Amino acid sequence: MNSMLERLSKEFRVTDITERHPGLTTLTADKDVAETLLRELRDREGYTHLNFMTAIDYIERGVFTLVYMLHNYATKSTLSVHVNIDRVNAEMTSIHTLWAQAWTYQRELRELWGINFPGSPRVEEDFCLEGWEEIPPMRREFDTVEYCERTFTSREGRGTVNPREHMAEIIFPNRGGDK
């Protein structure tokens, strides 16, 4: 693993290599080499399984961090490849040609974070938020409370009961026990 990471550092300018625990290592790559690095990890290093893709919104820094979780079955190791992209022009190369299931993750990222993946199949179609007209809801500037107050009617909340009393009085009234 160490020799692979050293080589990747030199060839792909990989940085921030951190072993989180045995079998899980994170690293950061530049946007311009990310697709080539992912292909290298799949074809040459045996990381053949894309576990998932997600994004982290670092609004303070003006970036999204795309996270690609890759798994190597032979070595039982997982790599978390982090790629920072600009929040304003949130766009990344599609990897659906590397892993077929990536287009599903990319549709989700486009809809929920507003990150575009040009050329990815069906990326412009609604995924789970049919007819959504608001700002993408996973962006940190999305105001959940304001949206809920504007969209949903108010109703009385549920009362709180002591679980011990509820069990004794309602569920098991004839059992006895301490009071």
pLDDT tens string 140-162: 999 999 999 899 888 788 778 88
d(CA 122, CA 140): 25
Q: Return the pLDDT at 125.
A: 87
Residue 29 and residue 38 in contact, taking contact as beta carbons nearer than 8 Å = no
Report pLDDT for 123: 86
Within a domain: 178 = no
Query: Closest by alpha carbon to 14, among 31, 137, 176?
Result: 31
If you average pLDDT over residues 126-148, what whole number do you get?
A: 93
Residue 86: inside a domain: yes
Number of domains the chain is built from: 1
User: What's the pLDDT tens digit per position in 28-57?
Assistant: 999 999 999 999 999 999 999 999 999 999
Q: Is residue 83 part of a domain?
A: yes
The stretch 1-17 carries a mean pLDDT of: 91
Domain span holding position 156:
2-171
Model pLDDT, residue 105: 96
* Residue whose C-alpha is closest to residue 25's, from 56, 55, 68: 68
Q: Please tell me the pTM assigned to this model.
A: 0.83
User: Does a structural domain hold residue 25?
Assistant: yes
Q: Is residue 96 part of a domain?
A: yes
Res 177 pLDDT > 70: no
Q: Considering the domain boundaries, does residue 32 fall inside one?
A: yes
- Asked whether residue 15 is domain-assigned, the answer is yes
Q: Between β-strands 49-58 and 77-86, what pairing exists: parallel, antiparallel or unpaired?
A: unpaired
Q: Which two tokens stand for residue 174?
A: 């004839």
Read off the CATH number of the domain in which 26 is found.
3.30.460.80
Question: Is 176 inside any structural domain?
Answer: no
